Structure 1
Amino acid sequence: MKTLFIYLVLVIWAGVSQAQEITELKEAKVGFAPLSSEVIRDGNQFSFIVKESYAGDFEANPLAFMEANFDIHNFITVLKGEKFDSFQVTFSSKKGHLLADFDKHGNLGTTSERFKNIFLPASLREQLYKDHKGWEMVKNVRVTRGENGKVDKEFYRITLRNGDERKTLKIDGITAERSEVASN
């Protein structure tokens, strides 16, 4: 019994003495890459698979996301040796894509977006609820087109269901925003 007691004291002493060692770690470097993505090239067309920092970041405002996370001038510098008159860049996520055309100087030309099953703006959600009580939204699609970084056309195609009945609505997004502003 005495031997067992001495053995346990030695094991505990060895464990405690090992736990007191200081381990020095190497320096860790942390970096931030806002648009970490895969790039697929086809002639003068480039596709980026967007990795969002949080869900909904890209589809909430694709143009602002592109401006914040994509530097066309650095992109053109990388392709310096190649002679292009224009660049067509597509940014894709799980919910949709943004297609942007740039000229050889990096100026933004036409843009088009298509996103499905997104979170609708509050004013549109409220209007749908008021006008279509008892109906359930099954899916939605937002399509926009524009030039020089400004949206000229925006519409939503919304599919509603009430039991066995279905109906599809096409709502002009720009007019819906203006009517909301006018009613305040």
Structure 2
Amino acid sequence: DKQYMGTVIEKLGELKGRLLEMNQDNGMARLIYKIPTLGLLGFRSQFLTETKGMGIMNYVFLEYGPFAGEIRNRNKGVLVAKESCTTVAYALFNLQDRGRLFYGPGIRVYGGQIIGEHCRPQDLVVNPAKGKKLTNMRASGSDENVILTPPTKMSLEECISYINEDELVEVTPKAIRLRK
């Protein structure tokens, strides 16, 4: 759709893409770009999100070329698990305000594992196993329901495009994890 053209052009420009051709017809736009492979890593899901599923993206290898320059991955820090533990809903509920989570409750994590994206530029070490303090005092209405935002699931391609220089992607038969 033509209405998403500006957003797509802006995003591809950030990824060192060079616009070669642009055609518009019947409210649709066709953009032809030359872009480094590194810029395309993880872009498909972002593209579908930006175009609200209305965009169609195809790509083919063209040539080997010189280094196009640094491509800025992200400007946000990460939430890093403090120690090995099993995540607890109460702790994750309190961490939701600090960023986007990658795991739900009841998942085993280890110290140094990335469990979410921080809303600020710096990394934050967190305790995803911190339970609620139990007291003998009861008051009606004092207990709040723990409602969690569904965790963000990332594919291998998205994980590879997400990490910075000081981070690793760990691939096992059962899981894909990010590590600081």
Tell whether the structures are fold-level matches, with TM greater than 0.5. no
Higher helix share: 1
Which structure exhibits the higher relative contact order, with contacts defined as CA atoms closer than 8 Å and separated by 6 or more residues? Answer: 2
TM-score, normalized by length of structure 1?
A: 0.22
Higher strand share: 1
Larger of the two Rg values belongs to structure:
1
